[in-house]
């Protein structure tokens, strides 16, 4: 009898965790770096930044900062990508400071397809600038993880986005 009650309670707890898990805020991060470059675009693809995105089950809130652009930022977008690392389409406009050092932000209601793209790491932030009007910095929003500083060996398990991103 006690085992049956415990089994039922464990089942209810598991169901509640699955149901409530999607309602809990999820925070992802992006390391913004230069877009792909070649000899012709190399001098215009400078700067670094970071962004975070929090999803509460209804609204996605994006905030970030950047520095070192070779010219003032002109636009920032949140794109939906087919895969991590692959440029995509369908975008949301972010508010961006028209400066070479500044901030970006935005808040959006996502549909089910867009929410699935967020949870699987297929949303990315892109900042355009005067000298790079089709993209200066970009970075994919992935689950929060530790990044070792430059020139410091990674001590803990490495974050592998294609393996550590939820599949749902």
Q: What is the DSSP string of 34-97?
A: EPP--TTTGGG---EEEEEEEE-SSEEEEEEEEE--SS-EEEEEEEE-SSTTS--EEEEEEEE-
Domain containing 89 equals 24-144
Q: Please check whether residue 89 lies inside any domain of the structure.
A: yes
Q: State the Cα–Cα distance between residues 105 and 143, nearest whole angstrom.
A: 18
Q: Please check whether residue 151 lies inside any domain of the structure.
A: no
CB atoms within 10 A of CB 97: 15
Could you tell me the CATH number of the domain that includes residue 89?
2.60.40
Residue 13 confidence class, pLDDT cut points 50, 70, 90: very low
CB atoms within 10 A of CB 144: 11
Q: Please check whether residue 50 lies inside any domain of the structure.
A: yes
Q: Please check whether residue 87 lies inside any domain of the structure.
A: yes
Pairing relation of β-strands 26-34 and 142-143? Answer: antiparallel
Tens-place pLDDT, residues 101-122: 999 999 999 999 999 999 999 9
Percent of the chain with pLDDT over 90: 55
Instruction: Please tell me the pTM assigned to this model.
Output: 0.78
Name the least confident of 42-46, 68-72, 84-88. Answer: 42-46
Percent of the chain with pLDDT over 70: 77
Q: Please check whether residue 4 lies inside any domain of the structure.
A: no
Average pLDDT value over all residues in the chain: 82
- Residue 140: which of 2, 66, 20, 33 has the closest Cα? 33
- Residue 58: which of 1, 104, 107 has the closest Cα? 107
Residue 38 confidence class, pLDDT cut points 50, 70, 90: confident
Q: Please check whether residue 98 lies inside any domain of the structure.
A: yes
Q: Please check whether residue 159 lies inside any domain of the structure.
A: no
Q: What angle do CA 65, 66, 70 make, to 5 degrees?
A: 160
**CB of 94 within 8 A of CB of 108?**
no
Query: Where do we find the tokens 């949303």?
Result: 123
Q: Please check whether residue 152 lies inside any domain of the structure.
A: no
What is the per-residue pLDDT for 106?
98
- Residue 31: which of 118, 95, 124, 134 has the closest Cα? 124
Count of domains forming the chain = 1
Residue 21 confidence class, pLDDT cut points 50, 70, 90: very low
**CB of 47 within 8 A of CB of 68?**
yes
């Amino acid at each position: 009898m006690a085992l049956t009650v415990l089994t039922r309670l464990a089942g209810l707890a598991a169901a509640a965790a699955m149901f409530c898990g999607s309602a809990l805020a999820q925070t992802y991060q992006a390391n913004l770096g230069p877009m792909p470059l070649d000899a012709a675009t190399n001098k215009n693809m400078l700067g670094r930044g970071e962004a975070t995105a929090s999803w509460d089950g209804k609204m996605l809130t994006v905030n970030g900062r950047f520095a070192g652009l070779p010219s003032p930022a002109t636009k920032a977008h949140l794109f939906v990508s087919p895969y991590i690392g692959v440029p995509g389409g369908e975008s949301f406009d972010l508010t961006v400071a028209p400066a070479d050092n500044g901030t970006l932000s935005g808040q959006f209601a996502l549909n089910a397809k867009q929410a699935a793209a967020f949870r699987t790491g297929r949303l990315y932030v892109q900042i355009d600038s005067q000298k790079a009007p089709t993209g200066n910095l970009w970075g994919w929003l992935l689950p929060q993880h530790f990044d070792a500083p430059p020139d410091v060996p990674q001590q803990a398990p490495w974050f592998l986005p294609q393996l550590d991103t939820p599949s749902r």
